[in-house]
Amino acid sequence: MSTETLLATTGVKSDGVIRRTAATAANCLAGGSQIFEELPTAKIVSVSRPDTTDFSPLLLSYALELQYKQFKWTLQKKASQVLYLHFALKKRLIIEELHEKQEHVREWLHSLGIFDMQGSVVQDDEEPDDGALPLHYTEDSVKNRNVPSRAALSIIRPTIGRSETVVDRGRAAMKGYLNLFLGNLDIVNSKEVCKFLEVSRLSFAREYGSKMKEGYVTVKHLREVPGSDGGRCCLPSQCLGCFGNSWAKVWAVLKPGFLALLEDPFNGKLLDIMVFDSLGFQGTKDSSEQPRLAEPVKERNPLRFGFNVTSGDRTVRFRTTSCRKVKEWVKAVDEAGSYNPHRFDSFAPPRGLTSDGSQAQWFVDGHTAFEAIAFAIQNATSEIFITGWWLCPELYLKRPFQDHPSLRLDALLETKAKQGVKIYILMYKEVQIALKINSMYSKKRLQNIHKNVKVLRYPDHLSTGIYLWSHHDKIVIVDYQVCFIGGLDLCFGRYDTAEHKIGDCPPHIWPGKDYYNPRESEPNSWEETMKDELDRRKYPRMPWHEVHCALWGPPCRDVARHFVQRWNHSKRNKAPNEQTIPLLMPHHHMVLPHYLGTREIDIISTAKPEEDPNKPVVLSRQDSFSSTSPPQDIPLLLPQETDADFTTKGDIKFERGSRQALDGRDEFPGETSEESDRDETVNEWWWQIGKQSDCKCQIIRSVSQWSAGTNQPEDSIHQAYCSLIQNAEHFIYIENQFFISGLEKDDTILNRVSEALYRRILKAHEEKKCFRVVIVIPLLPGFQGGIDEFGAATVRALMHWQYRSISRDRTSILYYLSALLGPKTQDYISFYGLRSYGRLFEDGPIATSQIYVHSKLLIVDDRIAVIGSSNINDRSLLGSRDSEIGVVIEDKEFVESSMNGVKWMAGKFSYSLRCSLWSEHLGLQPGEVKMIEDPITDATYQDLWMATAKRNTGIYDKVFSCIPNENIRSKASLRHNVALCKDKLGHTTIDLGIAPEKLKPCGSNSWEMLKETRGHLVCFPLHFMCNEEDLRPGFVETEFYTAPQVFH
C-alpha cells in the first residue's frame, strides 16, 4: 500500500488564508485556547474507487493517516465530503460578509438615532451534520476568509483516461487541497476543518487517552433543563423517552473504555458518559459468543440509521446520518470496549506483573492508618474520593485530639476544598429504624463545608427497593496516586493503638462519642458529637482492631474506577436532576490495559528532556468545576492518563522511624540486616506499619446492579478467597468480623469459604502433611444488648449463624472435621478472639472488654495477602448484596523463612504483616520476632500461640468470669452468673467486665494476676450457650419478621 506525506509546511499559503475568528475562542474553554497548537502532519495511505466503469473522482475514497503530537488517527473520506467541506467554508464566508455589512448599516442607523435593526442575518440552524454553533466574528474576520475554489475544482473536475490516472490525479488534487488546512494554524483551527478532521477539545488531551472515533450523533435520552444564564442544559434521563420524543444532536467522543457526549466539539462540556462494563462478557469462552457493546438497530423509517450502545444495565440509542456511519460506530465502540477475562472474574486485571509502579503498604489499627490518610489528604492537589459505611465529620485523624484541631476530618477537608481540591464523598444511606449512624447529619455537615465538596447518599430505599443491603466498602483516594482500602471507616470508635486501652478519663485520646462501646449503648443522636454517650467512670470503651492498606500505581486507579462507577450509578438513580452533583469519569489509565488487552494505544510517549523525571506528577483537570462556576455549569469529569513513569509517583510514603529492636538490634520481618542497619531511631509503633513494597496486586470486589449498575453480580472476592485457600501449601491465617459460611450441600448459607477450608484440610490429612488454619474473630457481635435481654435479638441471631458455621449442627466445619479426624482437628484449624484490660481511670475499677476484630484479612503461606472490607458471610461475598472492595497482594520480594522447619521463601509484605499481627496478639517484643518466624511448627503453633491463648483465657475467666466463656452453656447459667456478679460488685458491664480488687475466696490480687497475661489473644468459646438449640429471634421480637439473609 503506497503512502504519501502531505506537503504540510508553514510556508504553504493561499490567496485567502482563513483566520481564526472569535467564534473559535468563544466556544473553547480556558479563555480562548484552540484545539491545534501546532500543525498536524498527515499522509494519504491509499486511494480507492468503487468497482464501476465510472471514473469520476467524486467516487474516490481516501484513507488518511494523521498525527498531532503523540496522537495518531485515521480517517476515511470521500471526495464528496471534501466538496461539502468547501461549500461549508464558502457558506460561512458569505454569512460573515453579510454580518460585517450589517454592522456597518447598524452603525449608520445608530448615527441617525435608530438604535436597532430587525431581521438580522442569522446562521442556519439546520445545517446538515453541523454543530449549529452560534456565529461570532470580528471586524476584520472576513478579509482573509476566502478559500480558492480552484483547489476544490481540481478534485471534482472530470478526468478522461485509465482508472489508474483517475486515482493518481485524485491523490494529487486531494493533497493540494488538504495542504490549505494542514499548512496553516488559522485554517486548521476553523470549525469546519476541525469537524472534517473529527477532532474536539478532548481529542488531544493526553490525560483522556488515545484519539479514537468522534462525530455528531443524535440521542433521545437527554432532557433539556433551563440553565442559570437563561440558556439550556441537557441532563441524562433515567427513563428513555419519558420526556418526549425530541432527539438532541451531540458530539460523541469515543475513548478507550468509555464514550462521552459533549454539547459540541469546542467547549468540552459533558452531557453524559458511558463507561464500558466488562461484566457483560463474563462466562463466555468463545469470543463469537461474547455480547457486543454496540449493535445496529433496524429503524422503521428506512431513512433513519441507528445503533445501541450497552454499558452495564444501561442501553442508549444513537442515530447518525448513514448506514456506513452506523457500521463505523459499531466497530469502533466494540474495539474501544474490547475485553479480556481477568482472574477471579474480577473487573480489574492483575497489576505489577511488570515494573508498572504497583506498590502496597499495610497498617495495623487505626492509629497509623488515620495518620497516613491525614498526611495524604494534606498533600492533595487535585481530587479526593471518599466512601464508607459510616463517616463522621468530627473524627480526629491524629491524637491527642487537643493537639491537632486542624486534623479533624471536616477541618482538613475544608482546608483542601478552599485550596481548590475537588472532594467527592459517597455515603451509605442507612435504614434508620435498623441503624443509628445518622448519615443525613453527616451529609449536611460535609456539604456545608465548601462548594467544592460534593456529597451523595445511596441507596434511596423507596425508589430502589433496597432495604436489606448496604454499601460496605471503605475507600479514600487522593489525586489518583494513592488509595486506602481495608476495614477502617472514617468514623467514631475506630481509632486505636496496639495497646488497645479500655479507658480514657479524663478525655485525652477519644473525645465525646468517640469513646465508643456498641455493646453498651448506641447513641440516639450524633449531633452533639463532643458530648459523652457513656459514663467513662463506669464503662470501658470497646477496643478496635483493624488492618488497612495503601496502594499506589495501577491498583490505585482500579479502585478509583470502582468509585467512579458507584458514584455515577448513585448520581443517576438518586440525583439525576441535581446539577450541582456532577457525573465523574474514570481516568484513561483506569481502563488500560483492562479493556484493550495487549493492544497498544496510539499515544506516543514524548518525554521532555527538560522535565525532572523524579518530579511527582500532579494531575489536573482544566474542565473540572471551580469555585467561580455556577452550580449548573459544573461539568462532567473526564478520564485521564499520564505517560509518566508511575514508579515515581509513590511520593507519599508513611514509613516511620526504625524497626530496630528495643532490646538489641534485630531485623524487622521481611528486612535484611543491612536494611535494619540503615534505620536511625527506634520506632515506637514498629509493629503497626509496613514498608512500601513492590507487589503484584489485583483489585477484587462485590457489586451488582443495585450497588454499581453492573449487568450481573461480581463476586470476585468470594472466588479469590476460595481459590487461594484451595491452593494454599502450608498455612492460612484469617482475621474477620464474621465467620458465617456453608459447606457444599448447605442451601441456606451460599458462600463456600468453609467448603474450601474443609477440602484443603482433608487433602493435607490424606497426604499426611502439616497444614494449619488460624482464625481470629470477635468474641461477640458488636451490637447493643445483653445476650439474654429482650432487645438483643440481633446479637443472638448473629451468634446462631456463626456457631452454625463453626461448631454446631451438621452444617459446621468442625462437626464434619471432628467426625473424620477426631481430636486431631485442632492440629489443623482453631478459632480465637482478642481481649484487653485496664483501669477506667487512675485508681478506678479494673475492667475488661473484648477487642473487636473488624479486620478483613487472609494471609496464605506468608506470600499472599487479601485485605479489604469484605466479611466472611453471604452479605459480603455473593456480590448481589453488600458492596465490597479488596485487593489480592502477592509478594515480589522474598525473605528466607521456614515452614515446619523446612526452608521457605516468605514474601516480605505478607510475612511482615503476619509477624506484626502475631507480635501484637502475643505481646512479643521486637527482639522476639524470630519465635514466630515459622507459623506452623509445633513450637510456634502449639507451644506459643495456643498456649498463650489458653493461659490468657484462664486468667480472664478467673478474674472476671466475663462473657462469653466456656462455662456458660445455657440461659439459666448465664442468668445465674449475671446475678452473682451484680450481687458481689453492685455494678458491672453488660458482658460482666468489672473485676473486684481481691478475688474470693483465695484473696489474690486481680491486677497482679492480669499482669500475667501476655498480649491479647484468647480462645474463642466454642461451647458458649451450646445447650441452647436455637438462638434466632422469637416471634415476639421484631427481628423475627426480618428476612434471615440480613443476619448472614
Quick one: three-class SS letters along 202-225?
A: CCCCHHHCCCCCEEEEEECCEEEE
Closest CA to 576 of 220, 218, 245, 225: 225
Closest CA to 480 of 561, 565, 583, 591: 561
The x, y and z cell numbers of residue 313, run together, are 444495565
Q: How many Cβ atoms are within 10 Å of 902's Cβ, its own excluded? A: 11
455493646: which residue's cell? 519
440480613: which residue's cell? 1046
Q: How many percent of the chain have pLDDT more than 70?
A: 75
Q: How far apart are CA 260 and CA 252, in angstroms?
A: 6
Q: How far apart are CA 758 and CA 747, in angstroms?
A: 17
Q: What is the CA radius of gyration of the chain?
A: 34
Contact between 575 and 527 (Cβ < 8 Å) = no
The x, y and z cell numbers of residue 37, run together, are 497548537
Core vs surface per residue 753-783: b (16+ CB within 10 A) or e: bbbbbbbbbbebbeeeebbbbbbbbbbbbbb
Residue 984: per-residue pLDDT? 83
The x, y and z cell numbers of residue 15, run together, are 490567496
Amino acid at 884: E
Q: Give just the sign of the alpha carbon dihedral 280, 285, 291, 294.
A: positive
> Which residues are annotated as catalytic?
472, 474, 479, 854, 856, 861
The x, y and z cell numbers of residue 124, run together, are 442556519
Residue 528: per-residue pLDDT? 86
The x, y and z cell numbers of residue 786, run together, are 445483653
The terminus-to-terminus CA distance of the chain in angstroms comes to 64
Q: How far apart are CA 763 and CA 755, in angstroms?
A: 12
Contact between 823 and 817 (Cβ < 8 Å) = no
Nearest 5°: CA angle at 849, between 846 and 854?
155
Q: Which regions in the chain score pLDDT beneath 70?
A: 1-33, 51-58, 96-97, 99-164, 207-208, 223-245, 277-291, 338-341, 433, 461-463, 587-687
**Local structure of residue 277 (DSSP, 8 states):** P
Contact between 360 and 698 (Cβ < 8 Å) = no
Closest CA to 297 of 331, 255, 254, 330: 330
Please state the separation of Cα 120 from the chain's center in Å: 53
Contacts of 305 (CB under 8 A, 6+ apart): 299, 319, 320, 321, 322, 323, 325, 326
Burial degree of 987 (CB within 10 A; 0-12, 13-18, 19+): exposed
Question: Which three-class secondary structure state does DSSP give residue 302?
Answer: coil
**654 φ, ψ (degrees, to nearest 5):** -125, 20
Q: How far apart are CA 200 and CA 250, in angstroms?
A: 12
pLDDT tens readout for residues 969-980: 999 999 998 988
The x, y and z cell numbers of residue 191, run together, are 470549525
Residue 821: per-residue pLDDT? 95
Q: How far is CA 1046 from CA 798, 880, 881, 1041, in A?
A: 10, 13, 10, 11
Please state the separation of Cα 855 from the chain's center in Å: 19
The x, y and z cell numbers of residue 130, run together, are 453541523
Closest CA to 536 of 504, 511, 501: 504
No. of H helices and E strands in the chain?
Answer: 26, 35
Contact between 674 and 243 (Cβ < 8 Å) = no
Residue 282: per-residue pLDDT? 45
Contact between 490 and 391 (Cβ < 8 Å) = yes
- Residues recorded for the chain: 1048
Question: Which three-class secondary structure state does DSSP give residue 1020?
Answer: coil
pTM beyond 0.85: the answer is no
Three-class HEC string of 896-938? EEEECCEEEEEEHHHHHHHHHHHHHHHCCCHHHHHHHCCCCCH
Q: How far apart are CA 899 and CA 896, in angstroms?
A: 10
